[in-house]
Structure 1
Amino acid sequence: MVIPVHDVNPVRRTPWVTYALIAANVLVFLSTPGIAGSVAGESSLAQLCHLHAFLDHYAAVPRELIHDQLPRVVPTGEVAVGAQGPGCVIGAPEYDKSPVLSVLTAMFLHGSWLHLLGNMLFLLIFGNNIEDRMGHVRYLLFYVVCGYAASYGFAILNDDSAEPLIGASGAIAGVLGAYLVLYPKARVWVLVPFLIFLPLRLPAWLVLGFWFVLQAVYSSGEGVSDAGTVAYAAHIVGFLTGMGLAWPLKPGTPPPPEPRGLLFGRRARPRQTW
C-alpha cells in the first residue's frame, strides 16, 4: 500500500471546510469516552464499557438504517461483577436515536489513532483541490452526500449487521473518486515500502486507481485478515458516488500544472532541443 504525502496541484483559495472537517474529527476523537485507553495502548473494562455505550448511541448500525428498528437492550456504560466475573451492564436505552442522523455523527467517530490519522491524511491531500473546484458550501454538501451514500450502500449489502459503522472513510472515498475524475494527471508524492520507504511521484490515476482496486479486493475477503472489521464496501460506494457527482464538473476543470524538476525521486534531466 502506497502512502500519499503531497500532491503537486496548487489551489486558488484556502480550504477552510477541509481544515474544519479535520479539526472536528480530531476534537470528537479526543472527546470520545474510553479513547484515552487507545492512546496509552491499553483500556480498562470501564473505559471499554463507556466506549461501547457511546458507539451504540452515535454510530450508524446497518440493521437500524435498513429496518429502522432500535435494539431493546444496549450497553449502559456501567460495569457489574457477576458469577462469571466483571462485565458491561446492558439495559433498555435511555436515549432516542435517529438512525438517519446517526450516519452524520458516525462520520466523525474513529476507533484508533491509526484510523483517524490515515483518514485525515487523505482528506488533507486530496480534499483541498476538490473544495477549490466546487466551492466551500457545495463541497461540504458533496462530502456529506458521499458519506451517506457509503453508509447506506454498506447497510443494504449487510442489512442484518448490528456492528457499529464508524469513520469518515466513506465520505473521504468520495473525495478520492472526485479527484480521480477531475485531476487524473496530477502528480502525487507517495512513499512506497520497498525495504525502505521509497519516495516516488506518480500520476493520481495510478495512485487512486490502485487504492480502489485494493478496496475491491479486500471487500471480497481476499488478501486481508480483518475484512470483517473494515467496511471496504462502503469505501467502494463512496468512491463511485464521488466520481458520479464530480463528472459534470470535469469539462470546466483546469488541468494541474505540468510536472517539472524532481521525477520519481530524482531530478529530471533537461531535454536538449535541436
Structure 2
Amino acid sequence: MFPISDDNPEPGIPIVTWVLIAICCAVFFLQASLPPGEAELAVYQFGLIPGVLFGSTVMTDAPVPAWATVFSSMFMHGGFAHLAGNMLYLWIFGDNVELAMGRLRFLLFYLVTGIAAALAHSFLVPASTVPLVGASGAISGVLGAYLMLYPRGRVRVLFLPFPIIILRTFYVPALVVLGLWFVIQVVSGLASPVEEAGVAFWAHVGGFVAGMVLVPFFKRREVRLFHPPQPRVFDGRTGARRGPWG
C-alpha cells in the first residue's frame, strides 16, 4: 500500500513545498555530477555524523561547522530512490500543511522537525561515524502534522497484491495510511540495531512525534485540528485529481 496522491483540496499555492522539492532535487543532481570519490566525500563533509556533532570524532578540514550539517544533511540523499520517495511524500502531504501554517511558519516547522529527527537518531548512536543524510526526518514531521490536521483526509494509495500482480488504487483515510507508516517505523526501529540499520527509523519516529506535538503552535489560529473530510469534487471535463500521478 503506497500513497500516490490525496483528495484534500485547500485554496492557495504551496510555494515553500515546491521550493524545498526543487532544492533537494538540485542538490541531488549536483551530488550525482561529482566523481565517485568526491561524491562520497561530500556525504561525509555535509552529512550529519553523530560522533563529529558530539565531539567524540574530529573531522579535519571540515568545510562547515558540525552543527551546520544538521541542516545541510536534510537536503542530501543517498540515491535516486531515496530522493524520489521523500519528494513524493513531501509533494502529497506538504501542500496542505504549508497552507494550514503559512509559508514562513511552515519553513520554520520543517527545519525544526528535521532537527528533532536528526537529534533523535544521533542521541541513540552518539559515537557513530556513519553520516546521516536525507529529508525524511523533516518530512516525517510534515506527516505527523498532516495526521493531526486531516486524520480523515482521503489518501489515494497504490496496492499491489502478491503473488497476483494487479495494480489497484483506492482511497484510504490518512489516519490509516500515516498510522500504519508510523507503526512500521517503530517496529522496524525496534527490530534493527540502530548502528546497523540502513534506514534511520528513529529519525523518522522523532520527526513524526515532533510534528504532532508542534503543529498546534505553528498552524494558523483559524485552522482547526482534526478537520472533517473535504467533500469530494470531480471535474468531468478534465478528470483531474491531485498528486503526481493523479
Hey, what does 2:107 align to over in structure 1?
140
**Distance (whole Å) between structure 2 residues aligned to residue 152 and residue 13 of structure 1:** 33
The alignment status of 1:65 with 2:53, answered yes or no, reads yes
Alpha-carbon shift at residue 153 of structure 1 (Å)? 1.1
**Distance (whole Å) between structure 1 residues aligned to residue 189 and residue 207 of structure 2:** 13
**Distance (whole Å) between structure 1 residues aligned to residue 28 and residue 141 of structure 2:** 22
> Which structure is larger by alpha-carbon Rg, 1 or 2?
1
Alpha-carbon shift at residue 213 of structure 1 (Å)? 0.6
Q: Deviations over 1:233-273 (max 9, x none)?
A: 10000000000011454983253413478xxxxxxxxxxxx
Structure 2 letter corresponding to 1:201: Y
The alignment status of 1:203 with 2:166, answered yes or no, reads no
Hey, what does 1:55 align to over in structure 2?
43
| Local SS of the residue matching 1:177 | helix
Change (3 A) 1:65 1:94: closer
The alignment status of 1:212 with 2:182, answered yes or no, reads yes
| Local SS of the residue matching 1:5 | strand
**Relative contact order, CA 8 A, sep 6+: which one is greater?**
2
Hey, what does 1:234 align to over in structure 2?
203
Alpha-carbon shift at residue 36 of structure 1 (Å)? 5.0
Hey, what does 2:238 align to over in structure 1?
none
Alpha-carbon shift at residue 188 of structure 1 (Å)? 0.5
**Distance (whole Å) between structure 2 residues aligned to residue 259 and residue 65 of structure 1:** 48
Structure 1 letter corresponding to 2:107: L
Alpha-carbon shift at residue 227 of structure 1 (Å)? 6.1
Change (3 A) 1:20 1:172: same
Which among 192, 197, 204 is matched to residue 159 of structure 2? 192
| Local SS of the residue matching 1:107 | helix
**Distance (whole Å) between structure 2 residues aligned to residue 152 and residue 176 of structure 1:** 18
Change (3 A) 1:115 1:182: same
Change (3 A) 1:237 1:167: same
Alpha-carbon shift at residue 69 of structure 1 (Å)? 4.3
Alpha-carbon shift at residue 108 of structure 1 (Å)? 0.6
TM-score by length of 1: 0.77
**Distance (whole Å) between structure 1 residues aligned to residue 107 and residue 5 of structure 2:** 22
**Distance (whole Å) between structure 2 residues aligned to residue 138 and residue 172 of structure 1:** 15
Whether the 8 Å CA contact 1:65–1:152 is kept in 2: the answer is no
**Pairing of 1:77-92 with structure 2 (within 5 A):** none
The alignment status of 1:18 with 2:17, answered yes or no, reads yes
Structure 2 letter corresponding to 1:26: C
Change (3 A) 1:113 1:134: same
More strand, by proportion: 1
Alpha-carbon shift at residue 221 of structure 1 (Å)? 2.4
Alpha-carbon shift at residue 6 of structure 1 (Å)? 1.1
TM-score by length of 2: 0.85
Structure 1 letter corresponding to 2:134: G
Hey, what does 1:27 align to over in structure 2?
26
Structure 1 letter corresponding to 2:175: W
Hey, what does 1:255 align to over in structure 2?
228
Alpha-carbon shift at residue 3 of structure 1 (Å)? 1.4
Percent of aligned pairs sharing the same letter: 39
